[in-house]
Amino acid sequence: MAQAPITIYHWEPNANSGKPMLAAEEKGVAYDSVYLDMLSFDHHKPDYLAVNPNGTIPALRHRDVVLTESTPMMEYIDATFDGPALRPADAAGRWRMRMWMRFVDSYMGPSLSMIGWSIGVGPSVRKKDPAMLAAAIDRIPLESRRIAWRKAIYNEFSDEELAESRRRLIYSVELMEAHLRTSKYLAGDGYSLADIDAFNSCYGLPFFLPDHVSDEQTPAILEWLRTIRERPAVEITWAKARTERGSRLALLDRPGKETAA
C-alpha cells in the first residue's frame, strides 16, 4: 500500500485539529491519521514532543517538513496539493478569507474555547487522579498552556472571564449572521478555507448558545452550517471522532430529517 503523502497528528476533528483534516479531505489528499487523546495528555508525551516540542496540536508532517499552527497549515495543504482550490482566485476574495480566519482565530475562537473548556474539557479531566494531573500539568512545555489547563481542571475561570467570552460570542454571532445574509460563504460565493476554519469552531454553536443560535434567530448561520455539514468531506472527517463531540453534528440536521434506525 502506498504511503500517504502527509501525516496529521490530531485530537477530535473540531476546532484546531479539524482544520487541516477537513482541508485535506476536501482536496482529496490522503493522510495518515495519528489520534492524540488530549484528555489523556498524549500531546505532552515524549513521542509527540519529538514531533512538536511545544506540545500543541495539531501538527502536520510532509516529507521532512513539520508544520504547526492549524490555519497556515490549511494554506500549505491547498498550495501544495492538486484538487479543488480552497482559496479565492481574486485578491479581494483572499483578503475576505484571511480577514474571517483572523477574526475566528483571534477573537471568536478563544471565547468559544474558554466556554468549551469550562463545561467540557475541565469536568472530563478533573475526574482523574490528582497527583497524575499535577504531574501532567508540570510537563506541559508552554507556560500559557499550563495556565489554561490549570484553569480548566481546577475550575478557575472567573465569572467575569466567562461573561466576557459569552458577550464576545454573541457579538460574533450577530456579525456573522449579518454577513451571511448577503453572502453564501464567508469569503463570497465560493467555499474556502475561511469556511473550514470557522465551521470547525462554529458547528457547536447551537449547543453552546441555544438561546442565540437557532432557525428563528440566526437562519443564515444555520443554513451556512448545514450546507457545510452536508459536504461528504465533513462526514468522512467527523467519522474519526471518538468522543461525544462528534455527535454535535446531529444538531445541524435539517428539521424533519429521518435518522437511520
pLDDT higher than 60, residue 132: yes
User: How far are the Cα atoms of 1, 77, 138, 221 from residue 81, in angstroms, in the given order?
Assistant: 20, 6, 39, 30
In this structure, the number of other CB atoms found within 10 A of the CB of residue 11 comes to 22
Q: Average pLDDT for residues 1-6, to the nearest whole number?
A: 72
Q: What residue has cell string 474558554? A: 114
Question: Can you give 139-197 as a three-state secondary structure string?
Answer: CCCCHHHHHHHHHHHCCCCCHHHHHHHHHHHHHHHHHHHHHHCCCCECCECCCCHHHHH
Contact 74, 197 (CB under 8 A): yes
Q: Average pLDDT for residues 2-22, to the nearest whole number?
A: 91
Give the tens place of pLDDT for each residue, 176-208: 999 999 999 999 999 999 999 999 999 989 988
pLDDT higher than 70, residue 261: no
Rounded to whole angstroms, the Cα distance separating 192 from 185 reads 8
**Strand ranges across the sheet with 65-67:** 31-35, 6-10, 59-62, 65-67
What is the three-class DSSP state of 257? Answer: coil
Give the tens place of pLDDT for each residue, 31-43: 999 999 988 999 9
pLDDT higher than 80, residue 120: no
Residue 224 DSSP symbol:
H
Per-residue pLDDT at 244: 82
Give the tens place of pLDDT for each residue, 37-80: 988 999 999 999 999 999 999 999 999 999 999 999 999 999 99
